[in-house]
Amino acid sequence: MKISLCLFIQSSCFNEYGKSLGLHINNIRMTKKLNTRSAQIVLALAVAILLVAFVWVGGPRTFFGTVASAQTIEDNNEEVTLCHDARETITVAPSAVESHRAHGDRLGPCEKGSISGTKFLDENGNGKWDDGEGRLAGVTIFLDINHNARYDTGEPARVTGANGEYVFKGLTPGTYRVREKKFPGYKQTFPASEFYLVVLKADQRIRHRDFGNKVVVD
Ligand SMILES: [Ca+2]
Ligand SMILES: [Ca+2]
């Protein structure tokens, strides 16, 4: 009788029958709490997984246009690859091919171009690459993305090889400013503008964007 009463009045039970019985009842309560919390966590995870699945499979998706990239989406149950080349961010349904095209994207994979050239030693300093003048290796050529006329961390850069050549591959269509990184002991003599303004179209190869330097004599 006292035990059954104890199950309803636990605090008095703890005092009357000692710590062992009280702790046992508290453990039962704690176990029930943990089981309830675990069930809540499992339910929350299941809802989150279903939400993610909806967004990726059936719901709207966001396409980031800061860099052109190929996207494979479904159109009438067929996979369609398009190049998101509009350089803006849009959110559309995965099957909205027409929405992509109206936005400026193109069907098919992204066609990427290249810019290349050679670094030469302008020995006579006349701003031309004359016969017999050599090539310069180890010079950094970069794409001045922020147009501040100097190299910044993160801007695409190439170091000229033993033959003085450099090449930027995989460039998306757009306008690029190609510059060289100044280095001690040399002065740039070509091009006169000190940089190239290149308007690159899809799958276009721009070549002979050369740079010349002469040795500076103290
Ligand atoms: Ca020359
Ligand atoms: Ca820069």
pLDDT tens per residue, range 66-125: 334 555 555 555 666 666 665 555 555 555 667 767 767 766 666 678 999 999 999 999
Show the domain range for 41.
11-56
Cα-to-centroid distance, 195 and ligand 1 (Å):
18
Whether residue 197 sits in one domain with residue 143: yes
Ligand 2 center from residue 177 Cα (angstroms): 9
How far, in Å, are 109, 132, 134, 142, 178 from residue 128 at the CA level?
Answer: 40, 12, 12, 21, 18
Q: Which ligand is nearest to the CA of 124?
A: 1
Q: Measured in whole angstroms, how far is the alpha carbon of residue 143 from the centre of its chain?
A: 17
In this structure, the answer to whether residues 30 and 101 fall within a common structural domain is no
* pLDDT attached to residue 67: 38
Instruction: Pick the more confident residue, 4 or 92.
Output: 92
- Better pLDDT: 46 or 83: 46
Q: How far is the CA of 31 from the centre of ligand 2 (A)?
A: 61
CB-side exposure of 190: number of CA atoms within 13 Å?
21
2 located within any domain: no
Ligand nearest to the CA of 215: 1
* The pLDDT value given to residue 43: 84
Of residues 56 and 155, more confidently modeled = 155
Ligand located closest to 195 CA: 2
- Which of 107, 140, 166 is the last residue before a domain boundary? 107
Q: What is the pTM of this model?
A: 0.54
Question: CATH number for the domain including 172?
Answer: 2.60.40.10
Query: Tell me: the pLDDT tens digits for 170-218?
Result: 888 889 999 999 988 999 999 999 999 999 988 899 999 999 999 998 7
DSSP for 192-204?
A: TTSEEEEEEPTT-
Give the number of the ligand closest to the Cα of residue 189. Answer: 1
121 and 77 in a single domain? The answer is: no
- The residue written with tokens 């070549």 in the block is 207
Same domain, 81 and 136: no
